[in-house]
Chains A and B, each alone.
Chain A
Amino acid sequence: DIQMTQSPSSVSASVGDRVTITCRASESLSGYLNWYQQKPGEAPKLLIYAASKLQRGVPSRFSGAESGTDFILTINTLQPEDFATYFCQQSYGAPRTFGRGTRVDLK
């Protein structure tokens, strides 16, 4: 099974900051990497698919990048509604696997 190592587990930030979250896959994913945002009590929401494609309706301050087996989610100019937990997920093979999540909270 493909292992996803996500870091950091939490980050404290202020409104207006840039936040970066990294996921490292245990093998090549050829871009089959998705990012989700989850707020307490809610279902996850898709932000990015295919490593860098922005899902419809997601603000452009969210972006994704790929470098080998490393994947980066960047949130530019953090907004109040962005305080949440973020998960990466590989869709290269089954079983699908997730990173452990990164909680973004207020500094």
Chain B
Amino acid sequence: EVQLVESGGRFVQPGRSLTLSCEVSGFRFGDYTISWLRQAPGKGLEWVGFIRSKDYGGAPEYAPSVKGRFTISRDDSNKIAYLHMNSLKMEDTAVYYCSREERAMVNFYYYYFMDVWGRGTAVTVSS
């Protein structure tokens, strides 16, 4: 079964750091771009960033709201992706999800979509 499981979410004070993990099973982790997304209480979905597979250079990309504070990394041998969050702000309070970005060829072009998601882990930033 294809599965992603997030962990590491907890209560943390503003300005502190926290690292979330995304453990994967059921598919070839190294072949996929892994995304992190978040959803603040009662709000919509926000893409936080992703890390490409090694075949695509392995480079991360970030949303402007977290660039310079958050870092995404991956450990292909252990099938884990990480979201390292520094200088946390109250507005970072959210449920954080990881997902797999799949690709499919349609009319000779590859299209990208998040087809499997974890259940999320909650981060609360408050004093």
B32: chain A residues at CB < 8 Å are none
Interface on chain B toward A: helix, strand, loop, or mixed SS? strand
* Closest chain A residue to B45, Cβ basis: A98
Can you show 17 pairs from A to B with CB atoms below 8 A apart? A31-B106, A31-B109, A32-B112, A34-B113, A34-B114, A43-B120, A46-B113, A49-B104, A49-B111, A50-B106, A50-B111, A89-B114, A91-B113, A95-B61, A96-B47, A98-B46, A98-B47
Partner of B61, one of A45, A94, A100: A94
Interface size of B by CB at 8 A reads: 25
Rounded to whole angstroms, the CA-CA distance of A96 and B52 in the bound complex is: 13
Q: State how many angstroms separate the Cβ of A62 from the closest Cβ of chain B.
A: 14
Task: Tell yes or no: B44 within 8 A of A by CB.
Answer: yes
A1: chain B residues at CB < 8 Å are 64
Q: State how many angstroms separate the Cβ of A103 from the closest Cβ of chain B.
A: 10
A34: chain B residues at CB < 8 Å are 113-114
* Closest chain A residue to B60, Cβ basis: A94
Q: State how many angstroms separate the Cβ of B38 from the closest Cβ of chain A.
A: 11
Interface size of A by CB at 8 A reads: 27
* Closest chain A residue to B105, Cβ basis: A50
State whether B120 touches A91 (Cβ < 8 A).
Answer: no
State whether A87 touches B44 (Cβ < 8 A).
Answer: yes
Beyond the given pairs A1-B64, A44-B97, 12 more chain A to chain B contacts, judged by CB atoms under 8 angstroms and listed by A's residue number, are A31-B106, A32-B111, A43-B119, A43-B120, A44-B114, A44-B117, A53-B106, A89-B45, A89-B114, A94-B50, A95-B49, A96-B47
1/0 contact string of A9-53 vs chain B (CB within 8 Å):
000000000000000000000111010101000111110011001
Q: Which 6 residue pairs of A and B lie closest in terms of their CB atoms, listed nearest first?
A: A49-B113, A43-B117, A50-B111, A94-B61, A96-B47, A91-B112
Q: Given A43-B118, A53-B104, are A31 and B111 also a contact pair (CB < 8 Å)?
A: yes
B111: chain A residues at CB < 8 Å are 31-32, 49-50, 53, 91
State whether B115 touches A46 (Cβ < 8 A).
Answer: yes
* Closest chain A residue to B67, Cβ basis: A95
Task: Tell yes or no: A74 within 8 A of B by CB.
Answer: no
B101: chain A residues at CB < 8 Å are 91
Task: Tell yes or no: B93 within 8 A of A by CB.
Answer: no
